[in-house]
Amino acid sequence: MTGLSDDIRDLASDYVLGLMPEGEMRLFEELIQRDPELARHVGDLRDSLLPLDLSATPRDLSEGFAESTRALVQADAADGPAAPGPANPAPQHAANITRPPSRRMTGLAAAALVGIAIGFGAGGLRPQPEPQVIAVLLDDQGVPQAVVEDYGNDTATVRFVAQIDVPADRSLQVWTLPTPEIGATSLGVLDRTAPTRLTFDDLPGPMAQQLYEVTLEPAGGSPTGRPTGPIIGKGYAAPQV
């Protein structure tokens, strides 16, 4: 995919906000896996929303919310012709006008055609792997710095949600503490704050409240095999499965 169309960007926003129906979501996740540019765009959207997610105060849903939402979803799924309206309908505010389903499906169909062109079709769809735990790494002021997703198969990803200056003679290093007996173990060394896939060996599956952190180390990583530099951010794993 060369450049992202407005429709695909709209679909990415719906996906990150959790507004996409399950069937479309599975197809869109396949596209994310196949298209690095789209994956980066989705990652940027998630990063931009993370501070808002962390600062939001949980609230109870209003009475009747589930019923009204279900009615809207069923009406959208029916996708039938609109009922005749009044001759002079009342004006609507632009923020209250939803995008018509036909545009959504046109954008997703275009994305699917791109997917077919690069070598996969509807019969090859498979769900995106889900992380077993997620840890939000905070600095000493409680500000989010990075997010680690550990998939439990000797693979993890790290995404940075804050601007971190990395001097030319330094590297970032990601660590975890599987057990006190094993001690702090490196998951990978980074030269910049780009989203990164981490691979490692011989660690037990991640557990709730497992510690993850990022430190600033000499170029190439810690010379001792243990954290030596200042802590950029640290946090504890929250189970996802």
Residue 225 belongs to domain spanning = 133-239
Q: Are 36 and 116 members of one domain?
A: yes
Q: State the Cα angle at 210 between 206 and 212, rounded to 5°.
A: 100
**How high is the pLDDT of residue 132?**
93
Provide CB contacts within 8 A for 145, sequence distance 6+.
137, 138, 139, 160, 161, 162, 164, 214, 232, 233
88, 105, 124: which is the final residue of a domain?
A: 124
Instruction: Give domain status of residue 202, yes or no.
Output: yes
Q: Are 52 and 145 members of one domain?
A: no
Q: Provide the domain count of the chain.
A: 2
What mean pLDDT is reported for the chain? 75
Say how far apart CA 219 and CA 25 lie, in whole Å: 40
Say how far apart CA 19 and CA 69 lie, in whole Å: 11
Token duo for residue 212: 């993850």
pLDDT greater at residue 154 or residue 121: 154
Q: 104-138 pLDDT, tens per residue?
A: 544 555 454 444 444 443 333 344 578 999 999 99
Q: 1-60 pLDDT, tens per residue?
A: 446 777 788 888 888 877 777 767 777 887 887 788 888 888 888 777 765 555 555 556
Q: Are 118 and 10 members of one domain?
A: yes
Which H/E stretch holds residue 233? strand 231-236
**How high is the pLDDT of residue 37?**
83
Mean of the pLDDT values across residues 151-170?
91
**Domain of residue 172, CATH code:** 2.60.40
97, 124, 151: which is the final residue of a domain?
A: 124
**How high is the pLDDT of residue 124?**
39
Q: Are 105 and 171 members of one domain?
A: no
Backbone angles phi, psi at 57, to 5 degrees: -95, 125
Q: Are 143 and 170 members of one domain?
A: yes
Letter string b/e over residues 98-122, b meaning 16 or more CB atoms within 10 A of that residue's CB: eeeeeebeebbeebbebbeeeebee
